[in-house]
Amino acid sequence: MTRPGSRDDSQTQTLERTESKRPRLWRVLLLNDDYTPMDFVVMVLERYFRKSEQEAQLIMLAVHHKGQGVAGVYTRDVAETKVAQVTQHAGQEGYPLLAVAEPEGE
Ligand code: TYC
């Protein structure tokens, strides 16, 4: 049934979106350990998470005292890349520093 001025949608259907407009964000967490030097963790936060030296110190100390802390929040791909970069750099130095990504809101 096509009225003048309306579009005939009998042939064409538009699928409803199933993705939300804004992608879910992922937290990158740093985990505490007994061996990675504090200075290395601060450098990681500055270099890979673009924190100022002061912010980096605060986050590092929070992780040291509480066991884990949020280094940054990103889309999934970016978060996974940060995890890979940190893990690779720490491993290269022989440090066991661990970073993990987890979705926000869980
Ligand atoms: N606990 C470490 C130390 O005393 C420092 C540290 C902080 C390690 C944060 C990991 O994610 C970390 N040298």
CATH of the domain at 39: 3.30.1390.10
How many angstroms from the chain centroid is the CA of residue 82?
A: 7
User: CB–CB of 79/10 below 8 Å?
Assistant: no
Which pLDDT value is given to residue 1? 36
What is the number of structural domains in the chain?
Answer: 1
Say which residues have a Cβ less than 8 Å from residue 96's Cβ, sequence separation at least 6. Answer: 33, 35, 36, 90
Ligand 1 neighbour 67 (Cβ under 6 A): no
In a domain, 4, yes or no: no
What residue numbers bound the domain in which 82 lies? 22-103
Residue bearing the CA closest to ligand 1, atom 2:
34
- Any ligand 1 atom below 6 A from CB of 84: no
pTM of the model: 0.83
**Domain annotation covers residue 1:** no
Q: What rounded mean pLDDT belongs to the chain?
A: 90
Domain-located, residue 2: no
User: Domain for residue 16, yes or no?
Assistant: no
Which pLDDT belongs to residue 53?
98
Is residue 6 in some structural domain? no
Q: Over 50: is that where the pLDDT of 6 sits?
A: no
Q: Is residue 79 part of a domain?
A: yes
